Chains A and B, each alone.
Chain A
Amino acid sequence: MDLVTALENLLVELEAGLQKAFSPEDMEALRVDVLGRKGRLAQIMSRLPSLAPADRPAVGQAANSVKERCNALFKARRRALLLQSEAVALQRFDPSLPGRAPWRGSLHPTTLVTEEVCGIFTEMGFEVASGPEVENDYYNFEALNMPPDHPARDMQDTLYISDKVLLRTHTSPVQVRSMLTRTPPLAVIVPGKVYRRDSDLTHTPMFHQIEGLMVGESVTMAHLRGTLTAFVRGVFGAGTEVRFRPSFFPFTEPSAEVDISCCMCGGRGDHKDEPCRVCKGTGWVEILGCGMIDPEVFAAVKYSDAVSGFAFGLGVERVAMLKYGIGDLRMFFENDARFLRQFA
């Protein structure tokens, strides 16, 4: 048998061998057998010197061609095997298997509300300020027009550290501290923890408030209404209505309590013909207290009477309860992970 025929046979045999090769090991064994250093191609080529020199180039060319075609056969078979194994793998692929879940963190609902509210006010140009939670009576009460033995002190049951030091009952002392350290115009927003000596279904001894304050040369109650309307719509939606009811706070005059149209029943007061539970059928929900800063407060911080300003304060938990539909205030401080994880 001449060498060229032997070479051609080699291709036929390789093709047959590849059909039976399924694993990388099979493929490698076949490669060594055919193309290895001592493989069959090499063996055929080792007979080349026995040929007449004139025949050698033709056989050499044939050998090179066969080698290339062998490589091509191997490559094709490899690709076929790869496709086959991918197809098998794809059959076993179960997209419904759970993901390798990273930890799921969450922010406390009071943080979410605080950040949303502070975000709205900083957009309007308010600066964030803060102050101590253990507070001097002067900043918490006296400078806010609540001298000792003032009946208004009954409105806030106080936890005391000593005669003159207490846990702040509202974030309003930061109003005083801010005005004492700055000159008008100023606009600040103060988030923080506050404390009252009160604990029942609807009161916890600690809760969160956000205080707002704006002082300038011609700040009016119309500005207060505009600012709070913008805030309320930002939090509860563009259609929310705002209602100002006159009220009393020692540090503002006029004072008002602000109601918003009930977000549960849309201000209708009923829910499928039942009185709405959130607004007790009134269509309105109380959300914050506010007013024009009382002249006594300006006197305490030695501001001239040419300035005017407004202040407001809202309960963060109250907003969170309305916004997220949380019914029980105490859940805020039990830190049940099943509760916390709902506020990612």
Chain B
Amino acid sequence: MLLSLSWLCEFTPYEGNAEALGDRLTMLGLELENILRPYAAISAIVVGEVTACVKHPESDHLHLCKVNAGQEYLLDIVCGAPNVAAGQKVPVALVGTRLPDGTVIRKAKLRGAPSFGMICSERELGMTEDHSGIMVLPEDALPGARLVDTLDLDTEVLDISITPNRSDCLSVLGLARETANAFHLPVTIQELPVTEDKTRPEALVPIDIENADLCRLYSGRVIADIRAAPSPPRVRRRLHAMGVRPISNIVDVTNYILLECGQPLHAFDLDKLRGGRIAVRTAQNNEKFTTLDGQERALTNRDLCICDAERIVGLAGVMGGLNTEITQTSRNVFLESAVFKPESIRKTSRRLGLSSEASCRFERGIDQRRTVWALDRACAMMAAFGGGVVRRGLSRAEPKPFAPVAVAFRPEKADALLGVTLNREFCEATLTRLGCVVNKGSVWRVTQPSWRPDLTREADLIEEVGRMHGLDAIPPVLPPMCKSLDRAGQSRSDYFFLSRVKHWGAGLGLNEAVNYSFVGHKDLDHLGLPRQGRISIVNPLSAEQDVLRTSLAPGLLQSLRNNLAQGAQGLRLFELAHIFEEHADADVAPAQGQLPTAARETGMLGILLYGARYDVAWPHAEEDMDYADIKGIAEHLLNFLHLPAPGWETVNNHPWLLPCVEMRLAGRTVGCMGRVKSALADAFHARKGVWLAEFNLDALCAMHDMACVRFTPLPVYPPVRRDITVIAGPTLRVSHVLDHMAKLALPLLAEALLADVFEPQEGAERHLTFRLTFRHPSRTLKDAEVDKEREKVAQSLVEALGVRV
């Protein structure tokens, strides 16, 4: 909401500056966004009096003028305007002044005549488009005075953001009330009584309201003998300063009243209003209507309409119709001032995407006791501006007069909520100043003013006394601990588990990434992820963000692309986030009757490895990361979470990983990892292997909660180690050997590890060296018996797996 300081001062005698007002209003909840100075560019222009004006002897259009600009001597100014004449008061740009278009006025010689300044047109001052001649000022203008002061221009305009509850502050009047309150000033309204044309009969328009809930009040007046003309300069300049384009003495007044009083008005061409009557009703489904902007719109039975005897002529509170628009040839106007149901107006405005200054005020609530007053004020202004003659009679239907709400107010409740002790006189004075009627008793009855539809509950009144007392003046106090013993020992939020995993990842040397939860369907398609079960966004910002991710992979790959574009050589990212899948039963058995969302969210951990294993070369070898890196991280994670070694299962038909290995724990898949198929990785400009792992953190968290750490006593007797080298073809897996050794269940074999892999150049065989640790729980082993055990293992491997040792 824009608030001109000089307009404000027409209602309350505020004498401070714009900054001080902005600061005070901000602390009252009306936040100052900015201070605009629409006429800053012409603040240096002064008033000059043309004392003499003769034709330039060397030119057919130039004039030589003597101008008194309040200085000790008269200025010589050459002027080319046709309308310049001696005796005029005019705006003068002195030498050195910069005009709004950037021109700087300098001493000049025009056809031999010296000129020390410029007399300006309205266009040159950026005020209107008028360039037919120089601007002529009122005769009482004082030479040398600033033009902006002489014309009383709106030089300072506060841009104030108004919260949705304060419909009253969407007007100069409302903000004047707040200002008056803040600075203890009176509010005075210069009344403009309407003068009706007594010579002609009453001109009434019958009004029929179908539903009193949707339209509590509808009023209007007829203005006849319209003479469309520009509004007085003062009104035009003020609207201009408020960012509203001046149009004519009819339209300008409706805008002026809207800004001044917050009451939207609408002018119909009365001669086009068929049957000369108004009906307020809802539209039929699919009824067509063309609004003022020329768009035909299909309406529904929830849209409130203004109709004449035959058809729709306006969308109530939102926009008028083309069929009754005021034009150059209009002779008679019916001016509407009404109150519509906020929710109804909002629905229509939202559905049609039509938001206007009017709809925004109707949506938030109108001061019903000012509706007819604003209509009369507008009519008085229109008549005063020569726009027409106000016909006798007020057309009015008010099926639901304003009934103020009276609220119980307990000052002690206010004290208890705010944590202060408020003086009772202060409370009463504050509420009274706000326009409430206060009836004191053991419980106070406080009646709201008509312009404050938001004051209907005790909490609203407590907020008002708190606001005027100053929320900033409440002393800060730490609360006592606010906990219930019932919660002790209950399971904690998964926040702590997730936090541990994050610190694990960072401690391991991975960089935590955060990607958007939404991606494009095409990103999921690219990875071949199933279409079924995806959750789409109905109103996405773009096609790149139209579905919730079902995997962390697209986001991590996108991050990889971003980093490669910056020349990254290697990347190790991890991300903890939810994935989303459609799930009809997700909340079918909701705890405490919770409402469903049809979505299942699963906490996931994603890890991406790419390129160089180390960030700095020396003393590391320059190598790229591979399967062993991602698997090592996976094993490290499970160990960190006290979980046993999982089963590793190769998956052959994974949509975007090849190879792909799944991790299985306690019969369920808890994650998968592998290399992103190179054809897919190519789209992210990856030239090397992209290793990606995804873990189901919810599953791991549940298992982690069950896992308990049990201490195993340390062995007392020393271990004895023996190596076995197994020679076999490439299809023999390390796991085959280890699993077999585990199956032997030899009591003395404590541990078996892969110690070395050797692949000779010729031949397809691999040499796998395993290091076996033998130990007896209660004595030291002898070499001979260890050799015997090793031989047992070796023989068994040869027999069972057909390998050489």
Residues of A at the B interface (CB closer than 8 Å) are 97-98, 100-108, 110-111, 115, 118, 124-125, 127-130, 132-136, 138-139, 149-152, 154-155, 159-162, 164-165, 167, 177, 180-187, 191, 193, 195, 197, 199, 204-206, 214-216, 218-223, 225-230, 242-248, 253-257, 292, 294-295, 308, 332-338, 340-341, 344
Contact = CB atoms under 8 A, between A and B. Distances in A.
* Max chain B C-beta neighbours (<10 A), residue from A152, A159, A294: A159
Given A333-B514, A344-B506, A191 B495 contact: yes
B537 A161 contact: yes
B595 A138 contact: yes
Given A136-B595, A225-B474, A337-B571, A332 B506 contact: no
Contacts of B417: 220-221, 292, 308
Contacts of A150: 164, 343
Given A134-B597, A149-B346, A335-B514, A162 B538 contact: yes
Contact of A254 (B26, B462, B487, B518): B462
B471 A256 contact: yes
Interface string B401-419: 0000000000000001111
Interface string B562-595: 1100101001110001101000000000011011
B190 interface: no
B310 interface: no
Q: Please list the 7 inter-chain residue pairs (A to B) with the smallest Cβ-Cβ separation, ordered nearest first.
A: A103-B509, A222-B419, A220-B419, A246-B29, A248-B163, A335-B559, A223-B479
Contacts of B592: 180-181
A295 B457 contact: yes
B545 interface: yes
Contacts of B619: 97-98, 100
Interface string B458-502: 011011001100011011111101111011000011111001001
A222 B420 contact: yes
B512 A244 contact: no
B724 interface: no
Interface in B375-421: 416-420
A244 B568 CA distance: 46
A337 B482 contact: no
A244 B350 CA distance: 33
A158 to B, nearest CB: 8
15 contacts: A104-B509, A105-B508, A111-B499, A127-B493, A130-B493, A134-B548, A139-B595, A150-B164, A151-B364, A161-B535, A182-B484, A186-B482, A193-B517, A204-B516, A253-B460
A309 to B, nearest CB: 9
B342 interface: yes
Interface in B581-625: 591-592, 594-599, 601, 614-616, 618-620
B507 interface: yes
B272 to A, nearest CB: 32
A215 B479 CA distance: 11
Contact of B459 (A227, A244, A253): A253
B502 A104 contact: no
Contacts of A177: 594
Given A105-B510, A136-B594, A159-B537, 15 more contacts: A105-B508, A106-B511, A107-B512, A127-B492, A130-B493, A133-B578, A161-B535, A193-B517, A221-B420, A223-B478, A225-B419, A244-B472, A246-B471, A253-B463, A335-B562
B751 to A, nearest CB: 26
Given A103-B509, A181-B591, A205-B518, A229 B476 contact: yes
Name, among A225, A254, A334, the residue most crowded by chain B CB atoms within 10 Å (CB to CB). Answer: A254
Interface string B322-358: 0000000000000000000011001100100000000
Contact of B164 (A98, A130, A152, A256): A152
A118 B615 contact: no
Nearest to B490: A127
A222 B474 contact: yes
B471 A108 contact: no
B513 interface: yes
A246 B482 contact: no
Contact of A108 (B477, B512, B539, B614): B512
A214 to B, nearest CB: 5
B541 interface: yes
A134 B477 contact: no
Among A107, A134, A181, find the residue whose CB has the most chain B CB atoms closer than 10 A. Answer: A134
B436 to A, nearest CB: 17
Nearest to A199: B541
A216 B479 CA distance: 10
B166 A248 contact: yes
Given A149-B346, A167-B537, A333-B515, A155 B495 contact: no
Contacts of B459: 253, 292, 294-295
Nearest to B32: A282
Contact of B510 (A103, A136, A230): A103
A298 B460 CA distance: 15
Nearest to B618: A98
A336 B599 CA distance: 31
A187 B463 contact: no
B536 interface: yes
B318 to A, nearest CB: 14
B615 A243 contact: no
A142 to B, nearest CB: 10
Interface string B670-699: 000000000000000000000000000000
A310 to B, nearest CB: 9
Contacts of B578: 133, 193
A187 B477 contact: no
A133 B517 contact: yes
